Chains A and B, each alone.
Chain A
Amino acid sequence: MSSPASGLAASADDPRLRRAFLEEADELSQKLGESLQALEADPSNMDTVNEVFRLTHSLKSESAFMGFARLSELAHRMEDVLGLVRGGSLSLGRPVMDAVFSGADRIAETMAALAKGGTDTQFENGAILRSLSAAAGTRAARTGGAGPAAAVGPAATSPAAPTPAPVPALPERSQAGAAAAGAETGPTGETLLQGLGDFERAQLAEARDRGEECLRVTVTVDEAEPMKFPRAWLVFAALESAANVVRTVPALDGQPAEDAHYARMSFLLTTSDPEEVVRVASGVDQIASVKVERCRFDDLLSAVTARAAEADAGAVEAGAEAGSEASTTAASAALTGAAADTDSRTPTPPEKTSIRVDTKKLDDLWSLIADLVLNKSRIAHVSETLGKGMDPEMAREELAEAFDDLDKISGGMQQAMMDTRMIPISVIFNKFPRLVRDLCRKLGKSVELSVSGEETEIDRSIVEALSDPLTHIIRNSLDHGIEFPEERVRRGKSEKGRVSVSARRQGGTIVIELSDDGRGMDVPGIRRKAVGMGISGAESFTEAQLLDLVFLPGFSTKEVVTDLSGRGVGMDVVATRVRKDLKGDVALDTVPDRGTRVTLFLPLTLTIVNALLVRGGTQLYALPLTEVDSTAKLTSSELRGEGGRESAAWEDEEIPVFSLGALFETGRRRSDEYFALVLRHRDRRAFLVVDELIEEREVVIKPVDDLLNAERLFSGVSVLEDGRLVFILDTSFIRRENSDREAPWAPAS
């Protein structure tokens, strides 16, 4: 057994821990200052409120670990205040801001002192703590004090509100009483068995008929447990896994009473496996004692329930004699009370999501709306004068013009609305310098990061989903791509590695590149591995095909890829996120000893796309224009190869021919001439034979249910004005094998 004194006991003295603490807490403190300034500029910004809350929370936890009690207390009080603001019950007025600011300043001072080898005890924080309490207190006075500070005693909580469930079941017992009652059955036991309600009785009767046993389990939570209420819940959850818990005292539903209330819990339960109950109950950590007793169903169910129920009736009788009936009512009152409580619990307000939009974008939208209003009156004018005998030909011209304008305006409005969804990718890129710095420190590597194109705008929802994959790729670069300084020097490279991140817009696509000048990936190694894993055709795969394997879930496991001195774990996660969630694509290229580049191709937005509408059988499909190179007519004489493996020439290349009829098994019309699209997916092209080319138009993409999309052929659906459904094709299928009979998306065979 290693000594428990390791690690933490000596925490504040351990120089390594202290250094780590100083470094991170100082950063938190600085960020706190910055966030507070941002908050002062825009007090309504909930993101900033949350950020400040989190920072104070983090400072509290870290300093508590280091034993800096004063610092921790200060941060804790600030966290409390921000918690109230976050919950909407305290507004950020001047006094509150001032108190929080002075707290932050004091934290910064304390950090500076600690950095110089001082302690937090040299600071007297009384005045600041008082102003923070006052800030929080103003609110308590205003809303009537049901807040966290109002938990006075078990029986005497908020005056007017109906007391929460556990209270009626726990008459006049003091905290001391609970402790003194100790291991004996005591008062808790009484209330557990007394005055069972109809529902509880019914449960017991059914369990008896099933041949189960009835147990009373009494659990004492370890005194050292700082949060007894959740601990009691954990016991309850464990018991429920092996039994049916009929009753719990004190009750656990509803709002918790003071935590110490739950130091000793009693459960009445039925089970077919008493040993399992004992096992699960003692499997919960932080439990001082578990006592399990058998109860007799008949005693519990008989009219004189409480009195005869148990052998240790001494204490019971005293209570039950006088109050049998009263306690029945009390208990059912407690039950109905609990039910009412659940119903009337403050309804969770619908989640408000707000976004920040550049006012310039809103101004653009406004001026378009002004145009729209003008246009409306123009049309109204025509309709009016037409009634008064206006020349119909003039009216027609006038209307045609108005319609043209309307077209422009609606297009502009759509663009302007979309623009409000766009945010610069710098939101993510800004995190990278720190990430790289931290990783370098951790790994003992040296890397220069260069970032470009961070002003490129991209849809908000894409940005949110992108943060992780990008972080992951950078980590991989530093972990596995970039060599250690000595190795780099040995290989004639500069000691410092380079990682570059860039973003740019290319038509309707955002291209993000992350490259490093590390050791590159071992392509022959991947091929050996692929062949070893039995991936058919791997012997003749192109380099691009081999690298694409890294994105397969089974392939990029730790053992495999790290062996190959290639990427680390989880490129499949990246690929799934980018390809499936973001409808984008990801590609790898690598040069041994020169480095690796990961390129992400992402749609500008996930919601609206310019597409070509086509028909296959009776169904309509849409293909994003960005993925259609051209349209073509194919004659049957141009087709080469057997049904299922057909190809035809396009420009200088022989490319595969797919058809909607084959893809969706609606059958392929035989004819001499076919309409086809030339689709492009990254470096790959293919013909897609369709029954009819309808039109080019914008479609609004809606997510498609996985059930309908088991083969991942669609990136979404859209509904036309006339209600017809359009499936939006995910053109990546052209990278799969084409075949009439077999699913064209099956892995190459």
Chain B
Amino acid sequence: MGASILIADDLSFMRMIQKEILTERGYTIAGEASDGLEAVEKYKALHPDLVLLDITMPNMNGLEAMRKIFAFDPRARVIMCSALGQQNLIVEAIKAGVKDFIVKPFKPERILSAIEKALRI
């Protein structure tokens, strides 16, 4: 069974795309979250191997969610999903310990290789 991945994005369309790419490669979708709060709670409940965390989300944004996840599990593997123009936010996330980031719109190979590398670390 492939590593389990939690997908956090407020847009169901984005989650659908990610889910398709990941399941096709044999990963397990641990769960989906549509905002930061949910991402944190799902992380705590599901203990996924990796989280794909969108930056721009309602209720609690991805950065804050990332901090909460790291507070809960300092060894969490987190990959941020961002859009162009969010450089500074990504750098903040990197300082906090995220494993990688991907920029939307991304190609399937990009997300897959980011995940593969992150899982190897």
Q: List 17 A-B contacts (CB under 8 A).
A: A8-B108, A9-B108, A25-B13, A51-B58, A148-B85, A224-B110, A230-B94, A233-B95, A234-B100, A237-B94, A284-B117, A468-B41, A468-B59, A472-B38, A558-B46, A570-B42, A570-B45
Q: Which residues on A sit within 8 Å (CB–CB) of B44?
A: 570, 573
- Kindly list chain B residues whose C-beta atoms are within 8 Å of the C-beta of A583: none
In the bound complex, CA of A54 to CA of B25 (Å): 31
Q: Are B87 and A472 in contact (CB under 8 A)?
A: no
Q: How far is the CA of A229 from the CA of B109 in the complex (A)?
A: 21
Sort chain A's interface into a size bin. Answer: 35 or more
Given A17-B17, A20-B12, A569-B46, does the pair A54, B56 have CB atoms closer than 8 Å? yes
Considering the complex, give the chain A residue whose CB is closest to the CB of B98: A234
CB–CB A57/B107 < 8 A: no
**Distance (Å) between the CB of A346 and the closest chain B CB?**
13
A62 within 8 Å of B by Cβ? yes
Chain A residues within 8 Å of B90, by CB = 227, 230, 233
Residues of A within 8 A of B (CB): 2, 4, 6-9, 11, 17, 20-21, 24-25, 28, 51, 54, 57-58, 60-62, 64-65, 148, 224, 226-227, 229-230, 233-234, 237, 256, 259, 283-286, 438, 467-468, 471-472, 558, 569-570, 572-573
Task: Judge whether A6 and B24 touch: CB under 8 Å.
Answer: yes
Q: Known contacts A64-B104, A227-B90, A234-B100; is A24 also within 8 Å of B45 by CB?
A: no
Q: Is the CB of A573 within 8 A of B21?
A: no
Among A60, A468, A472, the one with the most B-chain Cβ atoms within 10 Å of its Cβ is A468
Residues of B within 8 A of A234 (CB): 94, 100-101
**Selected contact of A6 from candidates B37, B94, B108, CB within 8 Å:** B108
Q: State the 5 A-B residue pairs at the shortest beta-carbon distance, nearest first.
A: A570-B45, A230-B90, A64-B105, A65-B105, A285-B117
Which of B11, B37, B84 neighbours the largest number of chain A CB atoms within 10 Å of its CB? B11
Indicate with 1 or 0, residue by residue over B1-19, a CB within 8 angstroms of chain A CB atoms.
Answer: 0000000001111101100
The answer to whether B91 and A233 touch across the interface, beta carbons within 8 angstroms, is yes
A24 to B34 Cα, complex, angstroms: 13
Q: Judge whether B87 and A229 touch: CB under 8 Å.
A: yes
- The residues in B between 32 and 88 inclusive whose CB is less than 8 angstroms from any CB of A are 37-38, 41-42, 44-46, 56, 58-59, 82-85, 87-88
Cβ–Cβ contact A65 & B104, under 8 A: yes
Instruction: Give the shortest distance, in Å, between B85 (CB) and chain A (any CB).
Output: 7
Instruction: List residues of chain A with CB within 8 A of the CB of B10.
Output: 54, 58
Query: What's the Cα separation between A62 and B12 when bound, in Å?
Result: 10
**Chain B positions within 8 Å of A20 at CB level:** 12-13, 16
Give B79 Cβ to nearest chain A Cβ, in Å.
10
Check A8/B21 contact, CB under 8 A, given A234-B101, A285-B100.
yes
CA distance A685 to B20 in the complex (A): 53
Residues of B within 8 A of A569 (CB): 45-46
Which residues of B sit under 8 angstroms from A28, Cβ to Cβ? 11
Q: Which residues of A lie under 8 Å from residue B85 when comparing CB positions? A: 148
Interface contact B117-A24, CB-CB below 8 Å: no
A558 neighbours in B (Cβ, 8 Å): 46
Contacts A62-B11, A570-B42 known; A467 to B37 CB distance under 8 Å? Answer: yes
Name the A residues within 8 Å of B21 (CB-CB): 6-8
Interchain CB contact (< 8 A) of B41 among A57, A230, A438, A472: A472
Closest CB in chain A relative to B30 CB, distance in Å? 10
Interchain CA distance A28-B14 in the complex, whole Å: 13
Please, how many angstroms separate the alpha-carbon atoms of A573 and B42 in the complex? 9
**Residue from B17, B21, B59 whose CB has the most chain A CB atoms within 10 Å:** B17
Report if A468-B45 is in contact (Cβ < 8 Å); known contacts: A65-B17, A237-B94: no
Judging by beta carbons under 8 Å apart, are B87 and A61 in contact? no
Contact indicator B56/A57 (Cβ below 8 Å):
yes
Instruction: Tell me the complex Cα distance, A312–B105, Å.
Output: 41
How far is it, in angstroms, between the C-alpha of A286 and the C-alpha of B10 when the chains are bound? Answer: 26
- Pair A227/B84 contact, Cβ less than 8 Å: yes
CA distance A24 to B24 in the complex (A): 23
Query: Given A24-B11, A58-B10, A284-B117, A573–B41 Cβ distance below 8 Å?
Result: yes
Candidate in A25, A62, A224 with the most chain B CB atoms within 10 angstroms? A62
Name the residue of chain A whose CB is nearest to the CB of B109: A4
Chain B residues within 8 Å of A467, by CB: 37, 59
Assess the B17–A8 pair: CB atoms within 8 A: yes
Report the separation of the CA atoms of residues A234 and B117 in the bound assembly, to the nearest whole angstrom: 13
Instruction: From the candidates B12, B16, B104, B117, name the one contacting A61 in the complex (CB within 8 A).
Output: B104
- In contact, B114 and A285 (Cβ under 8 angstroms): yes
Complex Cα spacing A256 to B38, Å: 32
Contacts A20-B12, A224-B110, A234-B94 given; 10 further ones with Cβ under 8 A? A4-B108, A17-B13, A20-B16, A226-B84, A227-B101, A227-B103, A230-B101, A285-B117, A438-B12, A468-B38
Contact B24 A573 (CB under 8 A): no
Q: Which of A2, A148, A285 contacts B113 (CB 8 A)?
A: A285
A624 to B21, CA, bound (A): 53
> Which residue of chain B has the shortest Cβ distance to A571 in the bound complex?
B45
A570 touches B11 (CB 8 A): no
Check A2/B13 contact, CB under 8 A, given A57-B56, A234-B101: no
Q: Could you tell me the distance between the alpha carbons of A84 and B13 in the complex, rounded to whole angstroms?
A: 27
Point out the residue from A4, A224, A230 that lies within 8 Å of B87, measured CB to CB.
A230
Which of chain A's residues have a CB closer than 8 A to the CB of B16?
A: 17, 20
Least CB separation from A234: chain B residue:
B94
Given the complex, which residues of B lie within 8 Å of A227, measured CB to CB?
A: 82, 84, 87, 90, 101, 103
Query: Closest CB of chain B to A154's CB: distance in Å?
Result: 15
Q: Is the CB of A7 within 8 A of B104?
A: no
| Minimal Cβ-Cβ distance residue in A for B42 | A570
Q: With CB as the reference atom, state the residue of chain A lying closest to B115.
A: A285
Please indicate which of the listed interface residues A6, A229, A230, A573 has the most CB atoms of chain B within 10 Å of its own CB.
A230
Q: Are B45 and A7 in contact, CB atoms less than 8 angstroms apart?
A: no
B87 and A283 contact, CB distance less than 8 A: no
**Looking at the complex, which one of B42, B84, B117 makes contact with A283 (CB distance below 8 Å)?**
B117
Question: Is A61 a contact partner of B45 (Cβ separation < 8 A)?
Answer: no
Question: What residues of chain A lie closer than 8 Å to B20, measured between beta carbons?
Answer: 6-7
Contact A61 B108 (CB under 8 A): no
**A2 contacts B84, C-beta separation under 8 Å:** no
Q: Is the CB of A471 within 8 A of B91?
A: no
Determine the distance from Cα of A471 to Cα of B84 in the docked complex, in whole angstroms.
31
The answer for the CA separation of A256 and B92 in the assembled complex, in Å, is 13
Chain A residues whose C-beta falls within 8 Å of the C-beta of B118 in the assembled complex: 285
Closest to B116 in A: A285
Q: Which residues of A contact B110 (CB under 8 A)?
A: 224, 286
CB distance from A366 to the nearest CB of B (A): 34
Q: Kindly list chain A residues whose C-beta atoms are within 8 Å of the C-beta of B24.
A: 2, 6-7
Do A4 and B107 touch (CB < 8 A)?
A: yes
B120 and A283 within 8 A (CB) = yes
CA distance A256 to B17 in the complex (A): 32
